């Protein structure tokens, strides 16, 4: 059975009485604290536990239910070669091509080489990858030269992956799971991460956790955009925790806007990304408001297929709408009217009925789609052991930056979660074998003071609209001024406002605590989101070119001299930016086209 150290009761030591008076503090200790329980966090927990470490897996939502993994609709890229001959270096070539010259090629190589190991392991754990005949079915996703993407029918990849990993986590000796535990700060002592402070949502009480290593697997930041496909807990927690602990972020200017997020009519109970698999299986036609195909005018081809890269398609849809050629709701039409009903049914079975319940008949009329913030290419800078520059601190999944460069290849998000999660857990376990606990109460005091200030009085509804308004303002600001089409003036204005929101607006709010104070969680979410928004804006301002998902209207061309990564770190409260050369691949890459020609 897992064993955690425990201390209950009032804490000794120097105190600020106004916050300390009735403070009860629960203190836990573990070898490895994993923050976030999507695909990356759960895999990290499983890998660390099987390497002999004691793991505490914490999530502010329910274990294995929040985060992005569970929302994955379909594609998981993996060079398992069941549909067509393939090799991981071909997957790497496609990943680097999509990344527009900025991929950390070492991380990208790790992702591609180990994806088949994780896909096979998931298969052994009975995830149920879709099969055809006696082999696992693989489809061609945009940017891949060959059919490489596995999936679980129907639109069930994410739920199946999450359920499989929940099962493995529950069976893992040495893993203690805690739902509703929101980590608010990492605790750093002598330059090393030694644990964390957290808020127990059920009781509203602060918790401290001593850990020899921490794995940040709390996902990305797309919730900071007005139109997003994120879950509510993807406001950039991992990045903010890492920055404040002294770690570096990389490529923060690169936010992926998924081009064909659902726009209209209103569709409930389905992920806005769901048209992606429809296009994989059925093609579909993307049309402007005049019912004309238009992607060809932007240098890519798309008609009836689904091959145009995500960054080009997003840009084209926004430009068409800006030119007055958008659909009524301001996006583009996506039409499957030419596809017979029987073919729709074969491809998507019960999903067709769920659409009908939403009043959508694909044989009768097109739906409307538009770009939606979907994924963050940037993130925490790690080495191939998933270790940050801060001893004891690891990262995994979308929280990691660099592997996908300026634009993520379709199907790389789930393998990134599984591969980086497994590695973070394994290497963190390796480290803690030789480490001792470095916890000291005093190192957590500043973080606990903040927790007590924010939660220190009963929740107050009358005082709280400002919290929601601030989040709404942030999302609008990021969408309008730091979104798909950027320029110096908009970015500079956004940066000024974001700094003021952090300096003046957020500290003035004290939402109050008690049992399940969602407003207290909002406060900490906002603190993280505002810092992440500043990081994205700062990096976007300083990249004076257009590349991949980062499009500057005042610098429309790609500048070969800027084929370098931008690193951000926090120094005395200010974000410092530095350029570093791109890490190049450790292997010779065989081009997949050569393989296609040979086969």
Binding site for another protein (CB under 8 A): 1-6, 26, 28, 56, 61-63, 65-67, 70-71, 158-159, 170, 176-181, 200, 202-203, 207, 230-233, 265-272, 358-359, 459-461, 464-469, 471-472, 511-512, 514-519, 522
Please state, in angstroms and rounded to a whole number, the distance separating the CA atoms of residues 179 and 173: 18
Tokens representing residue 576 in the block: 């410092």
DSSP E strand boundaries for 409-558: none
Minimum separation from the CB atom of position 517 to another protein (A)? 7
Tokens 């949502």 map to which residue? Answer: 201
In the complex, least distance from residue 489 CB atom to another protein, rounded to whole angstroms: 28
C-alpha–C-alpha distance, residues 560 and 469, integer Å: 41
Q: Shortest approach of another protein to residue 444 CB, angstroms?
A: 17
* 166: alpha, beta or left? (left if phi > 0; alpha if psi -120 to 50): alpha
Q: What CA–CA distance (Å, rounded) separates 201 from 184?
A: 12
Tell me the closest approach of the beta carbon of residue 36 to another protein, in angstroms: 12
Cα 429 from Cα 435, distance rounded (Å): 10
Residue 373, Cα to own-chain centre: how many angstroms? 11
Question: Least Å distance between CB 363 and another protein?
Answer: 20
Q: How near is the Cβ of 158 to another protein at its closest, in Å?
A: 6
Q: Are strands 205-216 and 393-395 parallel, antiparallel or unpaired?
A: parallel
Please tell me the number of Cα atoms within 13 Å of 381 on its side-chain side.
21
User: Which H or E element spans position 568?
Assistant: strand 564-571
Catalytic residue numbers read 310
DSSP-derived secondary structure for 239-298: HHHHHHTT--EE-TT-EEEEEEEEEES---SS-TTTHHHHHHHH--EEE-TTS-B-GGGG
Q: What is the closest distance, in whole angstroms, from the C-beta atom of residue 201 to another protein in the complex?
A: 8
The edge-to-edge listing of strands for the beta sheet with 249-250 is 379-380, 249-250, 564-571, 574-581
Measured distance CA(419)–CA(416) in Å, rounded: 5
Element of type H or E holding 182:
strand 181-189
């Amino acid at each position: 059975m897992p064993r955690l150290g425990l201390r209950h009761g009032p804490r000794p030591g120097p105190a600020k009485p106004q916050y300390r008076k009735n403070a009860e503090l629960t203190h836990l200790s573990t070898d490895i604290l994993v923050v976030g329980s999507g695909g990356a966090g759960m895999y990290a927990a499983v890998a660390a536990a099987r390497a002999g470490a004691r793991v505490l897996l914490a999530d502010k939502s329910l274990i294995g239910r929040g985060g992005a993994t569970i929302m994955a609709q379909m594609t998981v890229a993996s060079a398992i070669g069941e549909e067509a001959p393939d090799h991981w270096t071909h997957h790497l070539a496609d990943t680097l091509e999509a990344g527009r010259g900025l991929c950390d090629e070492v991380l990208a190589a790790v992702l591609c080489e180990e994806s088949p190991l994780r896909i096979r392991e998931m298969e052994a754990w009975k995830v149920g990858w879709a099969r055809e005949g006696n082999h696992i079915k693989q489809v061609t996703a945009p940017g891949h030269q060959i059919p490489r993407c596995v999936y679980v029918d129907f639109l069930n990849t994410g739920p199946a992956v999450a359920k499989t990993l929940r099962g493995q986590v529950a069976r893992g000796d040495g893993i203690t799971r805690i739902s509703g535990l929101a980590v608010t700060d990492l605790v750093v002592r002598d330059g090393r991460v030694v644990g964390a402070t957290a808020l127990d949502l059920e009781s509203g009480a602060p918790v401290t956790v001593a850990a020899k290593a921490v794995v940040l697997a709390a996902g990305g930041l797309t919730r900071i955009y007005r139109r997003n496909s994120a879950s509510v807990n993807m406001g950039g927690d991992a990045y903010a925790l890492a920055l404040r602990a002294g770690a570096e972020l990389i490529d923060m200017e690169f936010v992926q806007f998924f081009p064909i997020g659902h726009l209209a009519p209103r569709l409930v109970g389905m992920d806005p990304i769901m048209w992606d698999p429809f296009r994989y299986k059925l093609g579909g036609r993307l049309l402007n408001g005049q019912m004309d195909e238009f992607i060809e005018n932007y240098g890519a081809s798309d008609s009836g297929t689904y091959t145009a890269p995500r960054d080009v398609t997003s840009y084209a849809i926004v430009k068409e709408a800006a030119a007055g050629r958008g659909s009524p709701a301001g996006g583009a039409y996506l039409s499957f009217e030419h596809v017979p009903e029987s073919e729709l049914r074969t491809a998507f079975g019960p999903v067709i009925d769920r659409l009908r319940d939403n009043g959508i008949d694909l044989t009768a009329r097109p739906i409307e789609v538009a770009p939606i913030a979907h994924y963050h290419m940037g993130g925490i800078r790690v080495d191939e052991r998933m270790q940050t520059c801060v001893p004891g601190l690891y990262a995994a999944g979308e929280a990691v930056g660099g592997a996908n460069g300026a634009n993520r290849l379709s199907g790389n998000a789930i393998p990134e979660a599984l591969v980086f999660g497994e590695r973070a857990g394994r290497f963190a376990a390796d480290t803690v074998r030789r480490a001792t606990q470095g916890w000291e109460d005093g190192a957590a005091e500043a973080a606990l003071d903040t927790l007590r200030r924010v939660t220190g009085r009963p929740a107050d509804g009358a005082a709280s609209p400002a919290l929601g308004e601030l989040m709404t303002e942030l999302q609008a600001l990021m969408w309008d001024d730091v979104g798909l089409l950027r320029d110096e003036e908009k970015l500079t204005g956004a940066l000024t406002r974001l700094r003021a929101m952090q300096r003046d607006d957020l500290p003035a709010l004290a939402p109050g605590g008690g049992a399940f104070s969602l407003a207290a969680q909002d406060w900490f979410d906002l603190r993280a989101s505002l810092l992440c928004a500043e990081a994205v804006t700062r990096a976007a301002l300083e990249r004076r070119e257009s590349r991949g998902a980062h499009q500057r209207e005042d610098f429309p061309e790609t500048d070969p001299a800027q084929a370098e990564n931008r690193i951000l770190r926090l120094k005395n409260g200010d974000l410092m930016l530095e350029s570093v050369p791109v890490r190049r691949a450790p292997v010779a890459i065989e081009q997949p086209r050569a393989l296609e020609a040979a086969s």
